[in-house]
Structure 1
């Protein structure tokens, strides 16, 4: 394999830019895939973001059905090892129990991704079943932040976040059940959109009714890449329980013009949770920047019963993940989780949730409904809610209190730790709202900090339109023009 461009050129191209070069005949899909594979070979030993590379589709990008006439024209893409399945490929979900688990068919979204022209060349890391905040179990793998290897990427879309931030590929798959697209995007300096419920299908093994809080999506480094991904991959499969949102025009067109003057409510004091002072200072700076763009900005806290909302979200996680583990155990003929193959907190969650009643689930859904209605009313007066993506600074690798290898005996205390640091993202999941993390701030130690925006259901385009306006105002210089310590442009000079 040989380089088709220098690494600085590679790092400066987004997925749409690479696709344009392919269409002009300047490079081939095979050459693009080979360059991505070289980047993985060089950087993955440091960041441990990619579980497996599919050599066959690097050498033959059309082998698994990639449509080279799609908008992405064969651009390489990595799939998080959780969620949509890939025919004939392993999906091990970050778990020792799932080693060797091979999928028999492409999921509906996988087919849409291939039809969009994305060449799926490998799998990225995730914590066990996507439950905790970081892909960090030494018995499986430890994924590290390319900005500083002493720090976590957060999660659960951990490997995707690190791979995109390090310049290995410009766009990659992610999922979000409580912030798992937006949180690692914020921590790693990427753009992360969690779409509205009713944008990307969970078919055939799930639905928005069953999944309730989970959403599919991507991470990227430019707004236009994310817009093109949503345009190309959105839509429901046959048999959905609800209609899917259909925008009046493609987002790729919408983002070319600025939004009107927006009413932006800024806050960080959400119930029992507060952002650290250094994060509040960055939120204030971001709010001031949006004022200079002509928007009305005011500090306003949404009228939500935050305590009830987080208790309901905790109950949802416990019940949902317990059912996931029970289903996997049943397929393997096991009565209980093997302690040497499933992580301790996952076992405790299973134990806590396996006998949950319909009444408990109905009570949870009643709180979800009340929260959604309150936010719907709030968005009659406001267009955007602006918060930090995280309330506390990025943890260092080995901070076990947030991990499923934690020895915390209390499932509820463990979840409380998560909400304390990830206070602002789960509201979008329980209410079906779109949310986006934009890389426009940084912590005192130099790590990226995402600024998080929410809007009303189905109005994902407004978040992308605002993001595009900010991107233009910054001259495309997200992260203040800085790059991570581990990055293709600085590390791969000798290849």
Structure 2
């Protein structure tokens, strides 16, 4: 098969650049789909990141209603195997118990994504129900393209691996506690978790019932993420909570540098703190931002972190228990079979199924006090920077963070999870935005994302700062390095 361009050329295009070439008439959406499919075939044996390629959509990108006149003009896109549904297509949640599941309708966001001109041409891997830190189970072992001995983290595992490997410029991701930002951070990508009230969860959920769940994407350029925000945001009819809009398109905002910002650095969040190398990388990025004219100092919100993480744990256990219960009911099962559901998810179901209103009320009271504390902090500072994780990326097979773990206590399992993934989940609790930027490296050579968070509905400021940094480094995220497993290296 003759491809539209060399792999070097392909990997140097972001989604906006590919769309421009389609509009110019140099390429057709089918050319882009064929190249992406070839890239998956080229890299997936080593990465195990793609569940399925929709061959019919590769052949005919308009088949499922993709709008070729949209901003992305047919750019290929993978949907994480949970979240928005695709009518008639399999959606299996990385779980044995969900094999063969076919939703009967598109989600509202699916229509927005297709309307934006993204060609949904397949499914990317995720851990079972997106609960744990990487996609490693009986179905898939998704590996980090920078070093395949290491995990991609999760739960947007497959999307992060494929975008990092140069196969796609942009792909779907979701974030209930860091699942956009963490895999972006350890795969060298841009990962924005937006505020509540940006992307719809309709029709199955709302921001009220989803509470901590956010949709989004991972990409390699700030303008791709900004274009995604501009074209996919917005509430469906009947939303419980108001959806906010920006004063100007984010794609325009990012063309200007932000005013001088008050930026806080932090890595000690209650009981959790980073190793010295991570702290050094954070300090280095802080100095770079000072060089761009911003005020930078060490500071921390006055949050009761122990109570906040306990409330977050209650939220996860009770929410996921209901998700699992719903699927058991659909399948006519009274309880999960041990060969179809992973041990920690069974314990989540057992522990959370009968969570009382009193327990949820206490949880929500902590959500409120935590959100108010961050709100007060952002009256004094515009941005807070942290490393994306508190520990180095685990190697494949590190079972303590997986839902295949044999830990007898689900609460102990979550407490251990927070020791590594400390800096991302409270943004979900508070509904504030956070972005991971590929600005640092771990001692093992893997990327280390630096996370910026800000006040609710100030998502544009994060992208504006990201764009300023991108210009300052001349677009050379990750110091210009590319992963070992990359379409241009094969």
| SS, match of residue 192 in structure 1 | strand
| SS, match of residue 450 in structure 2 | strand
In the alignment, is the contact (CA less than 8 A) between 1:16 and 1:225 conserved in 2?
A: yes
Q: Gaps spanning 5+ residues in structure 1: where? A: none
Which residue of 2 is the match for residue 70 of structure 1? 70
Which residue of 2 is the match for residue 242 of structure 1? 241
Q: Once the two structures are superposed, what CA deviation does each residue of 1:84-115 show, in whole Å capped at 9, x if it has no partner?
A: 00011000000000000001111000000000
Q: Gaps spanning 5+ residues in structure 2: where? A: none
Distance 2:472 2:417 in 1: 34
Which residue of 2 is the match for residue 482 of structure 1? 481
Which residue of 2 is the match for residue 342 of structure 1? 341
- What RMSD in Å do the two structures reach over aligned CA positions? 0.5
Aligned positions of 1:156-195 closer than 5 A: 156-195=155-194
Distance 1:105 1:210 in 2: 20
Q: Once the two structures are superposed, what CA deviation does each residue of 1:263-287 show, in whole Å capped at 9, x if it has no partner?
A: 0011001100011111111111111
Relative to structure 2, which stretch is displaced further, 111-120 or 1-10? 1-10
| TM-score in terms of structure 2 length | 1.00
Distance 2:323 2:443 in 1: 39
Distance 2:47 2:264 in 1: 37
Superposed displacement of residue 248, structure 1: 0.2
Which residue of 1 is the match for residue 95 of structure 2? 95
Superposed displacement of residue 489, structure 1: 0.7
Which residue of 2 is the match for residue 21 of structure 1? 21
* Number of matched pairs: 490
Which residue of 2 is the match for residue 39 of structure 1? 39
In the alignment, is the contact (CA less than 8 A) between 1:278 and 1:444 conserved in 2?
A: yes
Distance 1:294 1:401 in 2: 42
In the alignment, is the contact (CA less than 8 A) between 1:44 and 1:50 conserved in 2?
A: yes
Which residue of 2 is the match for residue 301 of structure 1? 300
Which residue of 1 is the match for residue 131 of structure 2? 131
Which residue of 2 is the match for residue 320 of structure 1? 319
| TM-score in terms of structure 1 length | 0.99
In the alignment, is the contact (CA less than 8 A) between 1:79 and 1:123 conserved in 2?
A: yes
2:142 maps to 1:143: yes
Which residue of 1 is the match for residue 49 of structure 2? 49
Aligned positions of 1:410-489 closer than 5 A: 410-489=409-488
Distance 2:275 2:313 in 1: 23
In the alignment, is the contact (CA less than 8 A) between 1:2 and 1:35 conserved in 2?
A: no
Q: Once the two structures are superposed, what CA deviation does each residue of 1:356-386 show, in whole Å capped at 9, x if it has no partner?
A: 1000001101100111111111111110010
| SS, match of residue 346 in structure 2 | helix
| SS, match of residue 336 in structure 1 | coil
Distance 1:357 1:327 in 2: 18
2:353 maps to 1:354: yes
| SS, match of residue 367 in structure 1 | helix
2:320 maps to 1:290: no
Which residue of 2 is the match for residue 333 of structure 1? 332
In the alignment, is the contact (CA less than 8 A) between 1:266 and 1:386 conserved in 2?
A: yes
In the alignment, is the contact (CA less than 8 A) between 1:200 and 1:236 conserved in 2?
A: yes
Which residue of 1 is the match for residue 83 of structure 2? 83
In the alignment, is the contact (CA less than 8 A) between 1:161 and 1:190 conserved in 2?
A: yes
Q: Once the two structures are superposed, what CA deviation does each residue of 1:373-429 show, in whole Å capped at 9, x if it has no partner?
A: 111111111100100000100000000000000000011110011100010000100
Superposed displacement of residue 294, structure 1: 0.5
Q: Once the two structures are superposed, what CA deviation does each residue of 1:16-73 show, in whole Å capped at 9, x if it has no partner?
A: 0000000001011001100000000111010011000000011101000000000000
